[in-house]
Structure 1
Amino acid sequence: MDSETIPGSASSSASSMNNSSNNSNQRSSSLIQQYNWYYDKTELKRTPSILDGISYEKERMYRNEGARFILNAGLQMKLRYDTLATGVVYFHRFYMRHSFKVFPRYVTAACCLFLAGKAEETPKKCKDIIKIARTLMDDNQFSTFGEDPKEEVLTLERIVLQTIRFDLQVEHPYKYLVSYAKCFKGNKDKIQSMLQMAWTFTND
């Protein structure tokens, strides 16, 4: 982590001042590429996990289990939907760079929820997330947290941040759903029902 210059840091700014404008443009182009989180079907079938011998179907199952944990734990902690959605996005982005064989999914999910809480200004203590995790998992699943679950999550937090390149802002569709719903005229109950259905589809 120390060997990589963080975009926007003091050392990065000083380096920019000493380089030519051409190099600056190249770096800007590189950053845009680094922050592109959209993938085509070919890339989705060549993830680190799949290249590590995990089948496409099993990887999807692991992703679903991690996302489900974030939602279940977050709802028990009464976190907002945007916080939960942010945690799920972090989780999926992380595993586009790393393998499930290397990083246990439930530890990563707990870490992503912890990080999302801070990013969305709805912070929860790490120990409280771990306490909820213990109630949602069997002994075998919780054993992946090791002897010191809190330290395991906090250590992984640094790796997650580096992996997602400190790109913490995630734009969700919820605000657009509400805005569009306000544009409709007619039966309020039907509009509310339609909004709820769209909200459910978004969560799925």
Structure 2
Amino acid sequence: MTTSTQDTGVSAQWTFPVEALQHMPSVETSNYTIGKELYDRARGVEFLFRLGSSLGLPSSAMFTAATWFHRFFMRFSMEDYHRQDIAAACIFLATKTEECGRKLRDVARVFQSKITGVDVAHIPNESLEVENQQTAILLAEEILLEALCFDFVTISPHFILVELFDAGQTNTKVQDYAWSIAHDSYRTPLCILFGPRIIAAACIILAQRAADGLHSPSLDARISLSPPSASLPTPPSHKPASPDVSRFAVEYFGFDETDLRHVTDALTILLDFYAAQDFHSNPYISLLASIQPPTHGRQLKLYEPFAQLLPPVPPVTNDGQTPESSQYASSAPLTPSHSSSTTKPAPESPGSHPRIPSRRGLS
């Protein structure tokens, strides 16, 4: 096995057991539920991706920033630090460490554009709002650095997927599915629960299952220690599915029983994330949400339906205009990464949090 496939270089302090999600700071110190926390994390990463895309950052920088975002909120509560401030700080820091520098003022202008819904071209360079956003980003970055202990190392599952694509015989459809699922994995806490090999394997196994169709071997068959029996009848489909191909990642990495339990948990969390969304309006989500999770592992149920967690829509006044605060109306339920670029995102609600993060808990 080559060095690149090893989950090396990432400190063990940033890999948490799944049970740690029950003790996230927001859950422990406030009335946040696990489902609410994970929903707001997904919204924060969605905002982070939109911010990075508007700044023209490479995907690698956004994946690094998203990983830091999840790490930060394993140490601090969302009640104390708003997700958008931390997302912006993660993006700004990533522009330095990933050598794709952007000026602080440019980050602040795009940030202001996203939270107000005003085109960035109409955000003046010299304005009180932009100055305030710059201050907020710098303060959030200072807290972020302390939370990260100046440990910036991350490894993306996309890096491992490229290796799998080169080594295997996966077709373009499977690769496209796996790549999009890996994007979506950052909207979940997988990057702080498992190493990149486990996540990459889960992405390609789920992608292969989706591409093979509903009558192909189950996820349980694909992640078992031994391949399914060759005596099993060929499933009725337009072409026979190959258990050997579907198990390529498992065999390529030589996963043991513990690794396969982790892959099982990763698959379960991904499918739970998809099932929580309004997938009827998006065929991509509908296809994945229809896949039966593995039955041999833990039956994890972490997410609540996103539709139940959406903030209420502001009332309309007599003149047909919504109140001033409605300029920060919440975004629609999250959709997978490849579909988010086709629609204009609505700005997220900053809520009641101050734009400048507090320093509580750092003494």
Using the size of structure 2 for normalisation, the TM-score is 0.42
Segment drifting more, 107-116 vs 35-44: 35-44
**Which residue is 2:112 aligned to?**
134
Pick aligned residue for 1:52 from 29, 39, 47:
29
Residue 112 of structure 2 contacts residue 133 of structure 2 at CA under 8 Å; is this kept in 1? no
Residues 155-170 of structure 1 mapped to structure 2, 5 A cutoff: 155-170=139-154
1:36 maps onto 2:7 in alignment: no
Deviation at 1:80, TM superposition (A): 1.1
- Output the amino acid matched with 1:80: P
Pick aligned residue for 1:81 from 59, 66, 72:
59
C-alpha distance in 1 between matches for 2:13 and 2:183: 22
**Which residue is 1:104 aligned to?**
82
**Which residue is 1:117 aligned to?**
95
Deviation at 1:147, TM superposition (A): 6.9
Q: Provide Cα deviations, 1:37-96, integer angstroms capped at 9, x if missing partner.
A: 111232111111111212222211211111001111111222111111111111110010
C-alpha distance in 2 between matches for 1:103 and 1:153: 12
- Output the amino acid matched with 2:179: W
Residue 109 of structure 2 contacts residue 130 of structure 2 at CA under 8 Å; is this kept in 1? no
Consecutive aligned runs of 4 or more in structure 1 exceeding 3 Å deviation = none
**Which residue is 1:21 aligned to?**
none
C-alpha distance in 2 between matches for 1:118 and 1:104: 22
C-alpha distance in 2 between matches for 1:184 and 1:61: 35
Residue segments in structure 1 that go unaligned for 5+ positions in a row: 1-33, 140-144
Residue 108 of structure 2 contacts residue 130 of structure 2 at CA under 8 Å; is this kept in 1? no
Pick aligned residue for 1:171 from 146, 155, 168:
155
- Return the structure number with greater relative CO, CA threshold 8 A, min gap 6: 2
**Which residue is 1:203 aligned to?**
183
Using the size of structure 1 for normalisation, the TM-score is 0.73
Residue 178 of structure 1 contacts residue 195 of structure 1 at CA under 8 Å; is this kept in 2? no
C-alpha distance in 2 between matches for 1:138 and 1:69: 13
- Structure 1's 89 and 105: CA in aligned 2 closer, same or farther, altered over 3 A? same
1:63 maps onto 2:41 in alignment: yes
C-alpha distance in 1 between matches for 2:105 and 2:130: 14
Residue 87 of structure 1 contacts residue 116 of structure 1 at CA under 8 Å; is this kept in 2? yes
- Structure 1's 42 and 179: CA in aligned 2 closer, same or farther, altered over 3 A? closer
Residue segments in structure 2 that go unaligned for 5+ positions in a row: 1-10, 118-128, 185-363
- Structure 1's 193 and 82: CA in aligned 2 closer, same or farther, altered over 3 A? same
Q: Provide Cα deviations, 1:114-134, integer angstroms capped at 9, x if missing partner.
A: 111211111212221221122
**Greater per-residue helix proportion:** 1
Please give the secondary structure, in 1, of the residue aligned with 2:23.
coil
Residue 93 of structure 1 contacts residue 164 of structure 1 at CA under 8 Å; is this kept in 2? yes
Residue 48 of structure 1 contacts residue 99 of structure 1 at CA under 8 Å; is this kept in 2? yes
Please give the secondary structure, in 1, of the residue aligned with 2:152.
coil
Segment drifting more, 130-139 vs 113-122: 130-139
**Paired residue total:** 163
**Which residue is 2:132 aligned to?**
148
Q: CA RMSD in A?
A: 2.2
Deviation at 1:193, TM superposition (A): 2.6
Question: Greater CA radius of gyration, 1 or 2?
Answer: 2
